[in-house]
Structure 1
Amino acid sequence: MTSTLAPTIHDWTQADIPDLAGKTVVVTGGNSGIGLEATRAFAAHGAHVVLAVRDEKKGQDAAATIAGSTEVRRLDLADLVSIQKFAAAWTGDIHILVNNAGVMVPPLTRTEDGFELQFGTNHLGHFALTNLLLPHIIGRIVIVSSSVHRSGRIDFDDLNFTTRRYGGGSAGYAQSKLANLLFTLELQRRLTAAGSSVLATAAHPGMAATNLNSSSTNVALNLFAKAVVAVFAQPSIDGAAPTLFAATAPMPPAGYAGPSKRGGFAGPPVLVDRSANASDPAVAARLWAASETLTGVSFPL
């Protein structure tokens, strides 16, 4: 599924976010980077925002910098038990769920459940969380992907890099970001088939100056990333704009938002196209089935 670029009367800004008073928003990884900027914007427009974070101390420190209604809850997306506890403790409606947290090109690492860390956190963790919370969600689900998805490939024979070469982790990151978009596609298909009004959308930040850009243990790669970011990246607050757009602006089912300028690196958010690989419903359905098997979590509607 591809999105048609939407004509804009003016460049979208945070001023276009509607009043969110009385609404509850959950942001995974809401304590730093674009997650923190999105959290600030949601709270500034009246929402009660839950920062779902692995480190509660860092979450509390971040929440203290936000004007508005917030709370911090522990969530480790690399641990299915933590995800299940978070979902089981939830009561009340969720108007917007933002699946933002992620890891980028770490050394080969396993989650608590034995998954490759990037696939396990960026995709499987959010897959499990979304399905477990779905009975509470009444508005939108936003899944943060990346333009790097275009180089991704879903290796169904070795999703978790048990035999294939891991290298610096870039193939694992691209696979996880492609999985994000395929998840959005199949999630929306299932929601529509179930007669649900919940909307699944996706976004990518372009190139934003966040701590993800220097998360690798490869010193040379970190130095290169910092140099590129210094020249090309936009601030985190601008990188959060596509997420906020996908969460609050008019969007088609499974629509994908991203920056509009500098080759998709920066600029006001608009609807953007996804790759052909990210538009394949058969691959999306196959990935869903594999994800259910790996996590033990299925579509609840």
Structure 2
Amino acid sequence: MTVKTPFGADSTASEVIEGIDLGGKRAIVTGANSGIGLETARVLADAGAEVMLAVRDVDAGIRAADEIGGKVAIAHLDLSDQTSVRDFVAGWAGPLDILVDNAGISAIPLTRTPEGWELQFATNHLGHFTLTTGLHEALAMRPGARVVVLSSVANLRSPVVFDDIHYLRREYDPMEAYGQSKTANALFAVGAAGRWAGDGIMVNAVMPGVIRTGIQRYFTEEGFQNLLDNTGRPEGKTIPQGAATTVLVATSPLLDGVTGRYFEDCNEAEPYPGIGPKRGYAPYAVDPELAMRLWYVSQEMLQT
């Protein structure tokens, strides 16, 4: 049954968390120094959670923590650098209630990591794969722990092309590569949900909406407006609206026991019908067999 809530596209993060007490809970938000990551961390902290801002730019993280107030800490995390990710995991002690895999990069020129991986896939998927699997034991200490993985409607642009994930033979397209990485995020949620259900860990993917933030730094104004128009919401969302689906999925008792799903506009999304405004997900983005294949391919790349 598709999950529906009283909230929608115009709801804000503060509205969906109203009345929820997160006192005693611990959360990590990646990319929390700006945009919807900052707003997500802010409302979690306002609700009483201890929040770790996992950020590449520590100085920006310090400024964000000062802005948020409350029980907020900062730690360095560069998702494109596997050593940095493993160091972050090694530095975490004790249980974890909420993990928000929020950070990401979008539509960048072809760039490779030292391993030869395409940077969007390496950052958006492989970095979060290592982080989240590395924190599995911490999450399992808290039955009912939640992982929220930020995907995107860009999943409609590309499946994971297993024969050439890193564009070694095919022509590179920045938005196609971004779409592939966002499909990988959605598939990771499906794969982790199946593996970790017995631990009481809920893992879901979300599409926050199109919001004007730093992630679009490589977009032209025309390109960004086309993106908005294609989703049928030409004005886009505000940052508080953009963080709402993440916060709902991370905290709401309405979603107790719900795992392995894809959410958009504060409700479970439907498959894209192939016509009309770009919404929802492609079937390949939630396919359990593809999720299993991606899991094994990721482990092989990371030699874990």
Q: What corresponds to 1:200 in structure 2?
A: 203
Q: What corresponds to 2:250 in structure 1?
A: 247
Q: What corresponds to 1:212 in structure 2?
A: 215
Correspondence 1:180 to 2:185: yes
Shift of 1:226: 4.9
Mapped contact 1:245–1:257 kept (Cα < 8 A): no
Q: What corresponds to 1:68 in structure 2?
A: 70
Q: 1:172 to 1:16 in 2, by over 3 A?
A: closer
Moved more, 169-178 or 150-159: 150-159
Unaligned runs of 5+ in 1: 260-268
Q: What corresponds to 2:283 in structure 1?
A: 276
Shift of 1:227: 4.4
Correspondence 1:292 to 2:295: no
Q: 1:159 to 1:57 in 2, by over 3 A?
A: same
Match of 1:222 among 220, 238, 251: 220
Correspondence 1:144 to 2:146: no
Shift of 1:280: 1.3
- Residue 239 of structure 1 aligns with an amino acid whose one-letter code is G
Unaligned runs of 5+ in 2: 271-280
SS of residue in 2 equivalent to 1:253? coil
Mapped contact 2:157–2:175 kept (Cα < 8 A): no
Q: Deviations over 1:102-127 (max 9, x none)?
A: 00001101124321111000001000
- Residue 62 of structure 1 aligns with an amino acid whose one-letter code is A
Match of 1:234 among 221, 234, 237: 237
- Residue 49 of structure 1 aligns with an amino acid whose one-letter code is V
Mapped contact 2:103–2:124 kept (Cα < 8 A): yes
Q: What corresponds to 1:191 in structure 2?
A: 196
Q: Deviations over 1:245-289 (max 9, x none)?
A: 110123321122211xxxxxxxxx222123211121111111110
Inter-partner Cα distance in structure 2 for 1:225 and 1:183: 28
Inter-partner Cα distance in structure 2 for 1:140 and 1:21: 16
- Residue 212 of structure 2 aligns with an amino acid whose one-letter code is A
Correspondence 1:101 to 2:107: no
Correspondence 1:35 to 2:37: yes
- Residue 132 of structure 1 aligns with an amino acid whose one-letter code is G
CA-based RMSD of the aligned residues comes to 1.9
Mapped contact 2:159–2:285 kept (Cα < 8 A): no
Inter-partner Cα distance in structure 2 for 1:233 and 1:9: 17
Inter-partner Cα distance in structure 2 for 1:51 and 1:113: 27
SS of residue in 1 equivalent to 2:44? helix
Inter-partner Cα distance in structure 2 for 1:56 and 1:90: 17
- Residue 292 of structure 1 aligns with an amino acid whose one-letter code is Q
Q: 1:223 to 1:41 in 2, by over 3 A?
A: same
Number of aligned residue pairs: give it. Answer: 278
Shift of 1:29: 0.2
Q: Which has the higher strand share?
A: 1
SS of residue in 1 equivalent to 2:110? coil
Mapped contact 1:26–1:96 kept (Cα < 8 A): yes
Mapped contact 1:207–1:232 kept (Cα < 8 A): no
Mapped contact 2:7–2:16 kept (Cα < 8 A): no
Mapped contact 1:246–1:256 kept (Cα < 8 A): no
SS of residue in 2 equivalent to 1:109? coil
Shift of 1:91: 0.4
Q: What corresponds to 1:56 in structure 2?
A: 58
